[in-house]
Structure 1
Amino acid sequence: METKIWSVDKNVDNVQSYPQITEPAQLLQAGQVVAFPTETVYGLGANAKSDEAVKKVFEAKGRPSDNPLIVHIASEGQLEEIVEDIPDKARRLMDEFWPGPLTLILKHKPGKLSNLVTAGLNTVGIRMPDHQVALGIIRASNLPIAAPSANTSGKPSPTSAKHVEVDLFGRIAGIVDGGATGVGVESTVLDCTVEVPVILRPGGVTLEQLEAVVGEVQQDVALKNQETAPKAPGMKYTHYAPKAPLYVVKGHPAFLQRIADEQRSEGFKVGIMAAREHESEYSADHMVIPGSLADLHTVATGLYDALRQFDEVDVDIILSESFPESGIGAAVMNRLEKAAGHQIIDEKHV
């Protein structure tokens, strides 16, 4: 398949009039699959109403079709067409965080979306992206757009068009290059079909921010229990993984370095991922610094690119520092632990 690539300034005004917007929108209307930028990661978009279009998403990603997809919209009018009921708490969250990196799980109207999008559930995850290019494409297509991350299933999510190109060139109709994404990790997924909203996936909007708007918010037990069936996109299978085995190390830098030295003494090439503050404390065959402990948003922004960098060098094992789980750090550690297949080495338990 020929993959067309368009470049567009993410800050451009009136994006709907640009061919870089109208052409991808026309492809979406024709049932094709197009990757486009959002403020979180690049999404792989398809007409959320069409089984045939959504099938192409799963085929391109190599992703099992029993995992629900997030639907992206550009207006409240689109939301009203899809969902049956919008609870008061959901309205308040929409007013505060939309457009933005927050996906709300709501009950959908029967027959309005492909069953492949909802994975047979009576609920659907919906968000309004905070990105002019994404919104422009959705508006120009006049469709709700199902869009998981635009990567091969299991690999780190794409935060640049180059990442998408590496994974999916020749497998999809087009890629809209809007530059690097901002947040760097996917949206927070919040179940609003229950009295006390439940975080199904931590992301760009933090627990603390949510509770400041609607009071108590719980976290789903499935975030730690791998046997529980997922209600949220991206929760069922191992995700975000580099090629080399990855271990998350909880403890002092000296402990991580000791493990690295042991592996290198046995002839293995070791990669280390660490915060900028600790860079000088490590010696490895390859070092990657995603960001700073002083601002965990920089770690979130750089995480997936950091994981992908290890695929470009010769390492046999990757050891990563752990990061504080407050605020956006909860999303960082959720993705990092999934990338490691929950292989964690804790200094306290050694």
Structure 2
Amino acid sequence: MSGKYATETLAADKGGIGHAAEILRAGGLIAVPTETVYGLAARADSDIAVAKIYEAKGRPSFNPLIVHVPSRRAASTIAEFSPQADALADAHWPGPLTLVLPRRRDARLAAAITAGLETVALRVPNHPVMREILALVDFPLAAPSANRSGYISPTSAQHVLSSLEGRIDGVIDGGICSAGLESTIVAVRGDGSTQVLRPGPIELTSGTGGAAARGMIEAPGQLASHYAPGKPLRLDANRAASDEFFIGYGEVSGDCSLSPSGSLEEAASRLYGCLHLGAASQKRRIAVAPVPDKGIGRAINDRLRRAATPPD
């Protein structure tokens, strides 16, 4: 793929991470591994840098970004924390939980990050590469998934390059992401109630709901059509048609298996990898075996339903 960037693949070592930090300071774009998926990082305090994220991904301007910070203390300079938000942060940070909170009026963020909302999405990641980068720079990082908007999320450096090579400055090759699904997103309301806006690796027993619940997009991952492989996707299949790439689960085998042993955690970590294989196959369609809708299986099925929904 040609583009205006010569995309570098950087090692996940001191030299590569240091070079990535230099590019970020200069307003560039670097794909970085996290425990969830690879994120497309840019300095969150720069309108120009954040605009590059939207341009590289082809992301709609109404879809806000998640801001990554090194600590709860850093997060408190950006958002207002209630006792309920404090409890969630204490329990799950650093880790795959994003909190949607009221934005502080003095927060130094690019305007496009919040997409015109009075809230901001914040996360303290737990991946050593992302944490090292955040320790090297003195600004927060906006970092949505490092792929073209609406398509399959990346869990490897090669996935990033297949979508964004020539559109970003570099990618740090940190191997395969462990969780394999984007973070759980929880909004903490003014009355102290919480709402899960996107299911993910962390299971919470609060209220749930998507964009329709409040009539607007409040956080990433709420679009009806998302994570799409670029070809029709059939769910809850027990066998494949001749023109289908079949993704199995448990005792149902296929061209690729989410987890032969029936582990939902393994299925989550392999979901996007299998979808990438299906997208690259010669088959016209993809079929996926049933995945139990419990535990992290609810997050897996959320991604699959959105991937199977045709774009408007």
Larger radius of gyration: 1
- Please report the TM-score for the alignment, with normalisation by the length of structure 1: 0.83
Q: Shift of the alpha carbon at 1:70? A: 0.3
2:195 partner letter: V
Q: 1:244–1:53: structure 2 CA closer, same or farther, 3 Å change rule? A: same
Question: Does residue 1:110 correspond to 2:105, yes or no?
Answer: yes
Alignment of 1:100-139 (within 5 A): 100-111=95-106, 112-139=108-135
C-alpha offsets along residues 33-61 of structure 1, whole Å, 9 cap, x if unaligned?
11100000000001111111001001111
- Matching residue within 223, 242, 253 for 1:236: 223
Q: Shift of the alpha carbon at 1:227? A: 9.6
1:275 partner letter: Y
1:7 partner letter: A
C-alpha offsets along residues 102-157 of structure 1, whole Å, 9 cap, x if unaligned?
00011111252112100010101100111111011112111110000001112110
Match of 1:3 in 2: 7
- CA distance in 1: counterparts of 2:210 and 2:100, whole angstroms: 16
- CA distance in 1: counterparts of 2:298 and 2:271, whole angstroms: 13
Alignment of 1:257-276 (within 5 A): 257=239, 260-261=240-241, 264=242, 269-276=243-250
Match of 2:199 in 1: 202
- CA distance in 2: counterparts of 1:31 and 1:193, whole angstroms: 33
Q: 1:82–1:227: structure 2 CA closer, same or farther, 3 Å change rule? A: closer
1:235 partner letter: Q
Q: Shift of the alpha carbon at 1:276? A: 3.3
5+ residue gaps, structure 1: 10-17, 212-216, 344-350
Match of 2:234 in 1: 247
- CA distance in 2: counterparts of 1:124 and 1:291, whole angstroms: 35
- Please report the TM-score for the alignment, with normalisation by the length of structure 2: 0.93
Q: Shift of the alpha carbon at 1:232? A: 1.1
Q: Shift of the alpha carbon at 1:19? A: 2.1
Q: Shift of the alpha carbon at 1:294? A: 3.2
What's the RMSD between the two structures over aligned residues?
1.9
Secondary structure, aligned partner of 2:120: strand
Secondary structure, aligned partner of 1:165: helix
Question: Does residue 1:51 correspond to 2:38, yes or no?
Answer: no
Contact 1:155 1:242 (C-alpha < 8 Å) held by counterparts: yes
Structure with the higher fraction of residues in helix conformation: 1
2:201 partner letter: G
- CA distance in 2: counterparts of 1:72 and 1:8, whole angstroms: 19
Secondary structure, aligned partner of 2:135: helix
- CA distance in 1: counterparts of 2:158 and 2:246, whole angstroms: 23
Contact 2:250 2:262 (C-alpha < 8 Å) held by counterparts: no
- CA distance in 1: counterparts of 2:187 and 2:148, whole angstroms: 26
2:8 partner letter: K
Identity over aligned residues, as a percent?
A: 40
2:231 partner letter: A
5+ residue gaps, structure 2: none
Question: Does residue 1:87 correspond to 2:61, yes or no?
Answer: no
- CA distance in 1: counterparts of 2:160 and 2:232, whole angstroms: 22
- CA distance in 2: counterparts of 1:309 and 1:319, whole angstroms: 12
Match of 1:278 in 2: 252
Q: Shift of the alpha carbon at 1:293? A: 6.1
